[in-house]
Structure 1
Amino acid sequence: MDIVLWILVFLGTFLMMEGMAWFTHKYVMHGFLWKLHKDHHRKDHSSWWERNDLFFVFYALISICCFLLWGNKNVWIALPIGLGILAYGITYFFVHDIFIHQRFKIFRNANNKYAKGIRRAHKTHHKHLGKDDGECFGMLYVPFKYFKK
């Protein structure tokens, strides 16, 4: 197996996960599974855990299935796909849960242009408390207007 192909599959999976996260956020979380996501927009609980975190678990299970497919059936492409999903999940956790929502009190002083744009976009998204009329469903890629002052 060619290492370049392996790296391309890994990077492609990571990049496609942003599109998948956007689609899932807009049409599933703000759609038929709003019941699981709404506690993320309206804090209606006292727990650190949110029902919304089940979406993270779902993608983790897909990643684990890829690892099992690679390990048990020797399907080479499953490993870079599983690692791409895992890498996106880790990135999501650091950017969304730690940096933006401060579930752990670190990365508070990140003030570069990209960090400010991501925060602005997410704040705009959370202005909408209901499932309808939302905007800015991405996480790593947000419209350019949020990077302008």
Structure 2
Amino acid sequence: MPVWIHILVFFGAFFMMEFMAWFTHKYVMHGFLWSLHRDHHLKDHDSWFERNDTFFIFYAIISIVFFLLWRYDILEIGLAIGMGIFAYGFTYFMVHDIFIHQRFKIFRNANSRYGKAVRRAHKMHHKHINKEHGECFGMLLFPYKYWKK
């Protein structure tokens, strides 16, 4: 299979994960698994870890399954899919957990209009502390309604 197909599949998997993250957040995290996601909104604990952190394990397992399918010659394109999922997860962690929520104290002085808009958009999502209103699609890519001069 040509390399360009692997590259295309990698980016396809990466961008498909944005839809999966939105879908999972709206219908699973703010749905039947709200009990795991709730502590991310309410901060009713003193621990650095949250029950919400268990969701990353789900996507990590899916990524690992694709790596194994590739490794054991079951799915040639499995490496590209697994890497796309992994790259999205890493990007999500860097933006959501480090940049927005400051779980590690780096990127604190990032003061671009875009960065501020992303943080403001996410803060608007977190003002809803209940299961309802879990919508957050496009806040990372299109936070422009939260720009301030």
TM-score between the two structures when normalised by the length of structure 2: 0.93
For structure 2, the 5+ residue unaligned runs are none
Counterpart contact for 1:30–1:131, Cα < 8 Å = yes
Q: What is residue 126 of structure 1 aligned with on the other side?
A: 126
Report the Cα offset of residue 140 of structure 1: 3.1
Partner of 1:58: 58
Give 3-state SS (helix, strand or coil) of 2:117's partner: helix
1:37 is aligned to 37
Aligned to 1:17: 17
TM-superposition CA deviations, 1:75-106 (whole Å, max 9, x none): 21111100000000000111000110010000
Contact 1:21 1:138 in 2 (8 A): no
Query: Conserved in 1, the CA contact under 8 Å of 2:117 and 2:147?
Result: yes
Rounded Cα–Cα distance in structure 2 between residues aligned with 1:24 and 1:134? 10
Q: 1:72 and 1:41, CA in 2 relative to 1: closer, same or farther beyond 3 A?
A: same
Check the 8 A contact 2:25/2:134 in 1, yes or no.
no
Cross-structure match for 2:92:
92
- Partners of 2:15 and 2:137 lie apart in 1 by 15
> Which amino acid is the alignment partner of residue 14 of structure 2?
F
Structure 1 consecutive aligned stretches of length 4 or more whose deviation exceeds 6 Å: none
The TM-score normalised by the length of structure 1 is 0.93
Q: How far off is 1:139 after superposition?
A: 5.8
CA distance 1:148–1:2, shift in 2 (3 Å): farther
Inter-partner Cα distance in structure 2 for 1:12 and 1:148: 33
> Counterpart amino acid of 1:10?
F
Q: Which moved more, 1:122-131 or 1:71-80?
A: 71-80
For 1:94-147, what per-residue CA distance to the aligned partner results, in whole angstroms no more than 9, with x for missing partners?
100011001000011111122112111100000001011344245632453123
Q: Percent identity?
A: 70
CA distance in 1, matches of 2:19, 2:121: 16
Give distance in 2, aligned partners of 1:147 and 1:81: 34
Q: Considering only aligned residues, what root-mean-square deviation do their CA atoms show, in Å? A: 1.5
